[in-house]
A and B are shown apart, each in its own frame.
Chain A
Amino acid sequence: MATDHIVGIDLGTTNSLVAYMQGDTPVVIPGEDGLNLVPSVVALDEKNQIIVGNAARRYLIETPERAVYSIKRLMGRGVEDIQDELKLFPFQLADDLQSGEVIRIKLGEKTFTPPELSAFILRQLKRNAERFFGAPVTHAVITVPAYFNDAQRQATKDAGRIAGLNVLRLVNEPTAASLAYGLDKKKHGIIVVYDLGGGTFDISILKLHDGIFEVISTNGDTHLGGDDIDNLLIAIALDDIRGELGLDVRRSGEAVQRIRQAVIEAKIALSSQPAAKLNVDLPGGKKYQREISLEVFEQMIQPIIDRTVGPCKQALKDAGLKPEQIDEVVLVGGSTRIPKVRRLVQDLFARVPHTDLNPDEVVALGAAVQANILGGGSEITKEMLLLDVTPLSLGIEVAGGVTDKIILRNSTVPASATQYYTTQVDGQTNVAIHVLQGERELARDCRSLARFDLKGVPPMPAGLPRIEVKFLIDANGILRVSAREQRSGKEAEIDVQPTYGLTDDQVENMLLESFDYAEEDFRQRQVIEARREADTILTALAKGKKNQAWQELTNDERRNVETLENALFAVKDGDDYHAIRGGIDALNEATMRLAELMMDTAVSTALKGKAMDDTDLAEGPQSGHPMAKAEFE
């Protein structure tokens, strides 16, 4: 694994990116189209193949019922949580959705859960990285909004698994940004990261100290971002169209998407111009035109951007800091390009915010830095360590429907708490526990994370068992629970029923199914694996040629090996799997005697007759047999 590239992924509401550490610098890996940003749009084409990114965008207009965007808003949420979203976004829920089930979105005749849809985006990023490296990519760090709750984090991790990625860590987006920001400058002091993206808002306050990035407090809103500005402008346009043109196009997916494209362009233009024009061709030949001045725009968006003020103040209060104690303010997320947002931040923290970073890329770059740290680090990252916090308090429901908080928000993670339970009835063998996340007093106002059943408590008189339940929030911000009955010493069994989430089996099935939608993947993967094997054998051969054994071969043998070597060189970077495979096999065959000669005589005698590429003779675990077959996970 150490030789594999671990990539950093920013799975965004609007755009997603993949980055890696090139020497001492994190860099974004472009897609086939040469662009760094992959729009987080997923479409299902007429042949039921999944299309992702820029190529999927035209489906939003042409076949809106077969395309979806802003999926991140649905991650880890139940049907009752997303009623507001359904009014504003053209999400089409599956018709046969059962209550309590993970929501499914319709694309054409098919339905997908939000983690599956996110996995399609991740798979695209994975492919982009594999194309770039010419090698399989299996490990990743993925960023999430700092204010994501347990269910949303779990859903993101599931998405990674469905995409065939081993998610080494979930990193909070503002924290990732701070890593990229603090990388090459020996920074000290208190920094604030204000992250207003497409669909989420985070504020994090960090203390930087000798390479330690310690988050002091965080706050946010996982349903606040540029999307909300777009939706506001769309609503105004729809009203205009009805009033001026007498047309009701609200039900027309195509018209709404055209308007959406136009308002996004206008919004972007207004970050650098005093006015922008909306110009939309409506179905039926009519045109909608309107000019928006910067002044009007700023008035309209005021209520939206004002919603970031509360979380900022709370984060300062939780950190026990006054604005004047802040040393620097860093802006992250595309929506911070809006001048009005910058002024608001400047007023809040009495600091001119940094604008020298690319707000679209900094999170992915930071994820790449964290990936490098987890991969063992390099000269530049070896002193760096991230100490993050849990954004929300963790509690359990106690008598009267009250939340008893056991791990408070802004606790550094990993964090743990131990609670003791007993039984209320003689001989009771099960104890039910309801785990909650949130700041509210009453259980019903908090987010229900899971219901646990402690099973197998030895029958005892009521009140006698002493069941120790340990809650642990890991470095990803995800809850783990373990329990033990102390009097009998018996490990109580825990039955976890996540309130909204996928079971392990479901995730496994989705991983298998996902291949159906991307035949391409299988072929691509085969080619990559074969190419890697070819590289291994060619490198080993180059080494073998320096060995005394090379001279012991006959001239013919040497010539034959070199011919085949050149042949493999010629095909290995192509996309023809069979050609690469054939080249490897031929070269393997031809170098068999060389390998034999290179081995210790005694051992080679013992192994005579065995095919060279499946002996696993090795000097040590790190240095395989010169012609050893490459291994893949």
Chain B
Amino acid sequence: MTESKSSLIIPGQSPGEATPRCWSCGTMRAVHFCNSCGKVQPPVPVDYFTFFGFPRKLNLDTAALEKEFYALSRRLHPDVFGQAGTQERAWSLEQSSMLNDAYRTLKDPIKRTEYLLRLEGVELEEQSKQATEKARATGELKKQVVPPDLLEELFELNMHLEELRDQKKKGEDDPALLEEIGKAKLSLEEKYDALFNELKTEWNEWDKSVDNGTEADRRKVLDAMLDVLNRRNYVRNLVRDVNEALE
């Protein structure tokens, strides 16, 4: 069996939620398994980073994550508990669903960043979801803050897209216009990639602030990351609109 990194000993967390002792043999237990007898343990409410035994940092070795995911899957998946008792089977189901949820979130760089923001108390999804629902209910267009560096480009692009829809209705075809839109799309895609690199720079800042930064430092990085993510979402939606218009 591959040695699992997550076999750290955890203290009994919130009262009543977790036991620091193995239910089966009574010795001190690890997060997911008993250190002594190896039995699966009831799930403890921990964040996804802790679940894998990783620090709460954004530069994450995805190869190590995958390796850890496979190693934990081999021990937590319900298939391994085909012959176990009802209680252990239930724990395995819960533990492995948490493992899968954690892996899915952490392996994707954007989901990982969003998850960290939420962990740190930054409400990003709630806001946009509320806004979306409100827009749907009222039929109003969702207000979005246009990133300033995009204003001019966006104005031109919208005109082109309008023209394209117009031509499509009439069944006309203007290669020059398509070329213009194609160029704009390319530029947007470049921006999209650049924003990802910008996000990665913030990751480095965040990881540094985890090691030796003040609370204020960390808040600043969190805000910066939220800003990058918002701009990135905006550009992503634009690219989608362009693709739809071109279809």
Residue ranges of A at the interface with B (Cβ–Cβ < 8 Å):
1-2, 168-169, 209-210, 212, 370, 373-376, 385-387, 398-400, 402, 404, 411-417, 472-475
Which residues from B are CB-within-8-Å of A373? 79, 82
CB distance from B104 to the nearest CB of A (A): 6
> How far is A297 from B79 in the complex, measured between Cα atoms in Å?
45
Contact A475 B79 (CB under 8 A): yes
Which residues from A are CB-within-8-Å of B180? none
Contact B73 A387 (CB under 8 A): yes
Residue ranges of B at the interface with A (Cβ–Cβ < 8 Å):
70, 73-74, 77-80, 82-83, 93-94, 96-98, 100-101, 103-104, 129, 133, 136-137
> How far is A121 from B73 in the complex, measured between Cα atoms in Å?
35
> How far is A625 from B91 in the complex, measured between Cα atoms in Å?
35
> How far is A387 from B80 in the complex, measured between Cα atoms in Å?
12
CB distance from A69 to the nearest CB of B (A): 33
Considering the complex, give the chain B residue whose CB is closest to the CB of A413: B100
> How far is A375 from B129 in the complex, measured between Cα atoms in Å?
45
> How far is A506 from B96 in the complex, measured between Cα atoms in Å?
32
CB distance from B193 to the nearest CB of A (A): 16
Contact A415 B73 (CB under 8 A): no
**Residue among B79, B98, B104 having the largest count of chain A Cβ atoms under 10 Å:** B79
Contacts A385-B77, A416-B98 given; does A400 touch B103 at CB 8 Å: no
Which of A2, A374, A412 contacts B104, CB < 8 Å? A412
CB distance from A561 to the nearest CB of B (A): 36
Which residues from A are CB-within-8-Å of B78? 414, 474-475
Contact A398 B133 (CB under 8 A): yes
Contact A472 B97 (CB under 8 A): yes
CB distance from B49 to the nearest CB of A (A): 18
Considering the complex, give the chain B residue whose CB is closest to the CB of A375: B82
13 CB-based A-B contacts, threshold 8 Å: A1-B83, A168-B82, A212-B70, A374-B83, A375-B82, A375-B83, A376-B82, A412-B104, A413-B100, A414-B97, A416-B97, A416-B101, A475-B79
Which residues from B are CB-within-8-Å of A404? 129
> How far is A400 from B77 in the complex, measured between Cα atoms in Å?
38
Interface of B is mostly: helix
Contact A415 B133 (CB under 8 A): no
Which of B101, B129, B136, B137 contacts A415, CB < 8 Å? B101
Which residues from B are CB-within-8-Å of A474? 78, 93
CB distance from B12 to the nearest CB of A (A): 19
Which residues from A are CB-within-8-Å of B98? 416
Contact A399 B93 (CB under 8 A): no
Which residues from B are CB-within-8-Å of A370? 79
CB distance from B130 to the nearest CB of A (A): 11
CB distance from A26 to the nearest CB of B (A): 16
CB distance from A70 to the nearest CB of B (A): 31
Considering the complex, give the chain B residue whose CB is closest to the CB of A209: B70
CB distance from A416 to the nearest CB of B (A): 4
Considering the complex, give the chain B residue whose CB is closest to the CB of A372: B82
Which residues from B are CB-within-8-Å of A168? 82
> How far is A420 from B133 in the complex, measured between Cα atoms in Å?
16
Which residues from B are CB-within-8-Å of A399? 133, 136-137
9 cross-chain pairs, A with B, having the tightest CB-CB distances, nearest first: A374-B82, A414-B97, A412-B100, A416-B97, A475-B78, A400-B136, A376-B83, A414-B96, A415-B100
Contact A210 B101 (CB under 8 A): no
Contact A411 B100 (CB under 8 A): yes
CB distance from A207 to the nearest CB of B (A): 10
Which residues from A are CB-within-8-Å of B77? 385, 387, 475
Contact B104 A472 (CB under 8 A): no
CB distance from B73 to the nearest CB of A (A): 6
> How far is A1 from B137 in the complex, measured between Cα atoms in Å?
56
> How far is A257 from B135 in the complex, measured between Cα atoms in Å?
56
Which residues from A are CB-within-8-Å of B137? 399-400
Contacts A212-B70, A387-B73 given; does A414 touch B100 at CB 8 Å: yes
> How far is A374 from B74 in the complex, measured between Cα atoms in Å?
13
Contact A415 B82 (CB under 8 A): no
User: Given contacts A168-B82, A209-B70, A385-B77, could you give 10 more A-B pairs where the C-beta distance is less than 8 Å?
Assistant: A373-B79, A374-B79, A374-B82, A374-B83, A376-B82, A385-B73, A415-B97, A415-B100, A472-B97, A474-B93
Contact A386 B93 (CB under 8 A): no
Contact A475 B83 (CB under 8 A): no
Which residues from B are CB-within-8-Å of A169? 79
Considering the complex, give the chain A residue whose CB is closest to the CB of B92: A414
CB distance from B101 to the nearest CB of A (A): 6
Considering the complex, give the chain B residue whose CB is closest to the CB of A475: B78
CB distance from B1 to the nearest CB of A (A): 10
CB distance from A574 to the nearest CB of B (A): 34
Which residues from A are CB-within-8-Å of B133? 398-400, 402
CB distance from A413 to the nearest CB of B (A): 7
**Residue among B74, B97, B100 having the largest count of chain A Cβ atoms under 10 Å:** B97
> How far is A474 from B79 in the complex, measured between Cα atoms in Å?
11
Which residues from A are CB-within-8-Å of B101? 415-417
Contact B100 A2 (CB under 8 A): no
CB distance from A258 to the nearest CB of B (A): 47
Contacts A387-B73, A399-B137, A414-B100 given; does A475 touch B82 at CB 8 Å: no
> How far is A212 from B101 in the complex, measured between Cα atoms in Å?
18
> How far is A376 from B137 in the complex, measured between Cα atoms in Å?
53
> How far is A376 from B74 in the complex, measured between Cα atoms in Å?
13
